[in-house]
Amino acid sequence: MSEKILVIAAHPDDEVLGCGGTIAKKVFKEKAVVNTLILSKGILSRDNLKNKKRKILSNEKSAIAANKILGVNKLEILNFPDNSFDSVPRLKLIKEIEKRIKKYAPNTIYTHFHGDLNIDHQIISQAVLTACRPIKKKKVSKIYAFEVLSSTDYSFGVNEDFRPNHYESINQYVKLKVKSLKKYDHEMRPTPHSRSYKNILNLAKLRGSQMYENYAESFVLLRSFS
Protein backbone atom coordinates (compact mmCIF):
# COMPACT_ATOMS: atom_id res chain seq x y z
CA MET A 1 0.00 0.00 0.00
CA SER A 2 1.31 3.44 -0.93
CA GLU A 3 2.28 5.80 1.85
CA LYS A 4 -0.15 8.68 2.35
CA ILE A 5 1.53 11.96 3.24
CA LEU A 6 0.05 15.30 4.29
CA VAL A 7 2.26 18.40 4.20
CA ILE A 8 0.91 21.17 6.43
CA ALA A 9 2.42 24.62 5.97
CA ALA A 10 1.59 28.11 7.15
CA HIS A 11 2.36 30.05 3.96
CA PRO A 12 2.84 29.44 0.24
CA ASP A 13 6.49 28.45 -0.38
CA ASP A 14 7.04 26.98 3.12
CA GLU A 15 6.15 23.53 1.80
CA VAL A 16 8.81 23.69 -0.92
CA LEU A 17 11.48 25.33 1.24
CA GLY A 18 10.92 22.77 3.98
CA CYS A 19 10.49 19.51 2.11
CA GLY A 20 10.20 20.09 -1.64
CA GLY A 21 12.89 17.55 -2.49
CA THR A 22 11.41 14.98 -0.15
CA ILE A 23 7.93 15.46 -1.64
CA ALA A 24 9.30 14.79 -5.14
CA LYS A 25 11.24 11.76 -3.93
CA LYS A 26 8.22 10.29 -2.14
CA VAL A 27 5.98 10.80 -5.17
CA PHE A 28 8.23 9.86 -8.08
CA LYS A 29 10.46 7.22 -6.47
CA GLU A 30 8.38 5.75 -3.68
CA LYS A 31 4.95 6.23 -5.32
CA ALA A 32 3.49 7.89 -2.24
CA VAL A 33 0.35 10.01 -2.40
CA VAL A 34 1.17 13.51 -1.16
CA ASN A 35 -1.41 16.19 -0.37
CA THR A 36 -0.60 19.74 0.73
CA LEU A 37 -2.51 22.02 3.08
CA ILE A 38 -1.44 25.69 3.26
CA LEU A 39 -3.22 27.65 5.98
CA SER A 40 -2.64 31.20 4.72
CA LYS A 41 -2.46 32.91 1.35
CA GLY A 42 0.61 34.77 2.57
CA ILE A 43 -0.64 38.35 2.52
CA LEU A 44 1.60 40.62 4.54
CA SER A 45 -0.16 43.06 6.88
CA ARG A 46 2.07 45.91 5.71
CA ASP A 47 0.83 45.67 2.11
CA ASN A 48 -1.89 47.99 0.86
CA LEU A 49 -5.14 46.54 -0.48
CA LYS A 50 -4.08 46.69 -4.13
CA ASN A 51 -0.81 44.89 -3.37
CA LYS A 52 -2.64 42.32 -1.26
CA LYS A 53 -5.03 41.44 -4.09
CA ARG A 54 -2.15 41.14 -6.50
CA LYS A 55 -0.19 38.95 -4.10
CA ILE A 56 -3.17 36.69 -3.39
CA LEU A 57 -3.43 35.88 -7.08
CA SER A 58 0.34 35.52 -7.46
CA ASN A 59 0.72 33.23 -4.45
CA GLU A 60 -2.20 31.02 -5.40
CA LYS A 61 -0.94 30.58 -8.95
CA SER A 62 2.58 29.98 -7.67
CA ALA A 63 1.45 27.38 -5.16
CA ILE A 64 -0.56 25.48 -7.76
CA ALA A 65 2.34 25.46 -10.23
CA ALA A 66 4.98 24.60 -7.61
CA ASN A 67 3.03 21.70 -6.15
CA LYS A 68 2.23 20.35 -9.61
CA ILE A 69 5.96 20.16 -10.39
CA LEU A 70 6.50 18.11 -7.24
CA GLY A 71 3.70 15.71 -8.12
CA VAL A 72 1.35 16.69 -5.31
CA ASN A 73 -2.04 15.02 -5.59
CA LYS A 74 -4.19 17.72 -4.01
CA LEU A 75 -3.42 21.27 -2.83
CA GLU A 76 -5.68 23.26 -0.51
CA ILE A 77 -5.05 26.88 0.47
CA LEU A 78 -7.04 28.41 3.33
CA ASN A 79 -7.36 32.06 4.27
CA PHE A 80 -6.09 32.48 7.82
CA PRO A 81 -4.44 35.88 8.42
CA ASP A 82 -0.75 36.01 7.51
CA ASN A 83 1.61 36.49 10.45
CA SER A 84 -1.40 36.74 12.76
CA PHE A 85 -2.28 33.14 13.57
CA ASP A 86 -2.03 34.16 17.22
CA SER A 87 -5.18 36.27 16.67
CA VAL A 88 -7.17 33.20 15.64
CA PRO A 89 -8.78 30.86 18.20
CA ARG A 90 -6.46 27.86 18.34
CA LEU A 91 -9.39 25.46 18.19
CA LYS A 92 -10.39 26.88 14.80
CA LEU A 93 -6.98 26.04 13.32
CA ILE A 94 -6.98 22.61 14.92
CA LYS A 95 -10.40 21.76 13.53
CA GLU A 96 -9.36 22.70 9.99
CA ILE A 97 -6.32 20.45 10.31
CA GLU A 98 -8.42 17.64 11.79
CA LYS A 99 -10.78 17.87 8.79
CA ARG A 100 -7.89 17.31 6.38
CA ILE A 101 -6.47 14.46 8.44
CA LYS A 102 -9.88 12.79 8.28
CA LYS A 103 -10.18 13.56 4.56
CA TYR A 104 -6.72 12.38 3.46
CA ALA A 105 -6.02 9.75 6.16
CA PRO A 106 -2.24 10.31 6.11
CA ASN A 107 0.27 7.88 7.56
CA THR A 108 2.85 10.66 7.74
CA ILE A 109 2.73 14.41 8.27
CA TYR A 110 5.42 17.00 7.51
CA THR A 111 4.99 20.38 9.14
CA HIS A 112 6.75 23.31 10.81
CA PHE A 113 9.28 23.22 13.63
CA HIS A 114 7.97 24.64 16.90
CA GLY A 115 11.17 26.64 17.49
CA ASP A 116 10.87 28.78 14.34
CA LEU A 117 10.98 32.55 14.73
CA ASN A 118 7.78 33.00 12.72
CA ILE A 119 4.75 32.94 15.03
CA ASP A 120 2.54 31.24 12.43
CA HIS A 121 5.03 28.38 12.15
CA GLN A 122 5.07 27.91 15.92
CA ILE A 123 1.29 27.82 16.15
CA ILE A 124 0.86 25.41 13.23
CA SER A 125 3.38 23.02 14.78
CA GLN A 126 1.43 22.99 18.04
CA ALA A 127 -1.92 22.74 16.25
CA VAL A 128 -0.74 19.72 14.24
CA LEU A 129 0.38 17.89 17.36
CA THR A 130 -2.95 18.66 19.00
CA ALA A 131 -4.90 17.49 15.95
CA CYS A 132 -2.84 14.29 15.95
CA ARG A 133 -3.52 13.32 19.54
CA PRO A 134 -3.41 9.50 19.67
CA ILE A 135 -7.01 9.11 20.75
CA LYS A 136 -8.47 7.54 17.62
CA LYS A 137 -8.13 4.07 16.15
CA LYS A 138 -6.51 5.44 12.97
CA LYS A 139 -3.43 7.29 14.14
CA VAL A 140 -0.86 9.25 12.16
CA SER A 141 2.23 7.05 12.34
CA LYS A 142 4.94 9.68 11.91
CA ILE A 143 5.17 13.44 12.30
CA TYR A 144 8.23 15.29 10.99
CA ALA A 145 9.16 18.95 11.43
CA PHE A 146 11.05 20.63 8.58
CA GLU A 147 13.29 23.68 8.54
CA VAL A 148 12.49 26.89 6.64
CA LEU A 149 15.36 29.23 5.90
CA SER A 150 14.76 32.79 7.17
CA SER A 151 12.70 31.44 10.07
CA THR A 152 14.19 28.28 11.57
CA ASP A 153 17.67 29.76 11.29
CA TYR A 154 16.65 33.16 12.66
CA SER A 155 15.52 32.15 16.16
CA PHE A 156 19.11 32.59 17.44
CA GLY A 157 18.58 30.49 20.54
CA VAL A 158 15.51 32.41 21.71
CA ASN A 159 13.48 29.30 20.90
CA GLU A 160 14.58 25.67 20.78
CA ASP A 161 17.27 25.04 18.17
CA PHE A 162 16.56 22.80 15.19
CA ARG A 163 18.51 19.57 15.73
CA PRO A 164 17.71 17.12 12.93
CA ASN A 165 17.45 13.41 13.63
CA HIS A 166 16.12 12.30 10.25
CA TYR A 167 17.53 12.92 6.78
CA GLU A 168 16.24 12.33 3.26
CA SER A 169 18.72 12.13 0.40
CA ILE A 170 17.47 14.34 -2.44
CA ASN A 171 20.40 13.93 -4.84
CA GLN A 172 18.05 13.17 -7.73
CA TYR A 173 15.39 15.67 -6.70
CA VAL A 174 17.19 18.86 -5.73
CA LYS A 175 16.72 20.24 -9.26
CA LEU A 176 12.98 19.69 -8.99
CA LYS A 177 12.99 21.51 -5.66
CA VAL A 178 14.71 24.52 -7.23
CA LYS A 179 12.42 24.38 -10.28
CA SER A 180 9.43 24.39 -7.97
CA LEU A 181 10.84 27.26 -5.91
CA LYS A 182 11.20 29.34 -9.04
CA LYS A 183 7.42 29.47 -9.18
CA TYR A 184 7.76 31.45 -5.95
CA ASP A 185 10.46 33.70 -7.36
CA HIS A 186 8.77 36.81 -5.91
CA GLU A 187 9.30 35.34 -2.43
CA MET A 188 12.99 34.61 -2.93
CA ARG A 189 15.77 37.02 -1.97
CA PRO A 190 19.22 37.82 -3.37
CA THR A 191 22.36 36.31 -1.86
CA PRO A 192 23.54 36.48 0.91
CA HIS A 193 19.98 36.30 2.28
CA SER A 194 19.37 32.81 3.65
CA ARG A 195 16.23 32.48 1.49
CA SER A 196 18.16 32.76 -1.76
CA TYR A 197 18.60 30.06 -4.38
CA LYS A 198 22.29 29.82 -3.60
CA ASN A 199 21.72 29.29 0.10
CA ILE A 200 18.88 26.85 -0.45
CA LEU A 201 21.44 24.73 -2.29
CA ASN A 202 24.07 25.44 0.37
CA LEU A 203 21.78 24.09 3.07
CA ALA A 204 20.96 21.01 0.99
CA LYS A 205 24.69 20.43 0.52
CA LEU A 206 25.34 20.88 4.26
CA ARG A 207 22.59 18.44 5.22
CA GLY A 208 23.84 16.05 2.57
CA SER A 209 27.40 16.23 3.87
CA GLN A 210 26.16 15.23 7.33
CA MET A 211 25.00 11.92 5.87
CA TYR A 212 27.75 11.52 3.22
CA GLU A 213 25.38 12.49 0.42
CA ASN A 214 25.50 15.31 -2.10
CA TYR A 215 22.14 16.84 -1.17
CA ALA A 216 19.65 16.17 1.60
CA GLU A 217 16.77 17.66 3.55
CA SER A 218 16.70 17.22 7.30
CA PHE A 219 13.87 16.89 9.79
CA VAL A 220 13.08 16.50 13.45
CA LEU A 221 11.04 13.36 14.01
CA LEU A 222 8.46 14.56 16.51
CA ARG A 223 6.58 11.29 16.88
CA SER A 224 6.77 7.77 15.51
CA PHE A 225 4.41 4.85 16.01
CA SER A 226 4.22 1.44 14.38
Cβ-based neighbours of 189, under 8 Å, separated by 6 or more: 150, 195, 196
pLDDT in tens, the chain (226 residues): 789 999 999 999 999 999 999 999 999 999 999 999 999 998 665 555 456 556 666 889 999 999 999 999 999 999 999 999 999 999 999 999 999 999 999 999 999 999 999 999 999 999 999 999 988 777 899 999 999 999 999 999 889 999 999 999 999 999 999 999 999 999 999 999 999 999 999 999 999 999 999 999 999 999 999 8
Q: What is the pTM of this model?
A: 0.94
Answer positive or negative: Cα dihedral of 150, 24, 144, 36. Answer: positive
Do 111 and 145 meet the contact criterion of CB atoms below 8 Å apart? yes
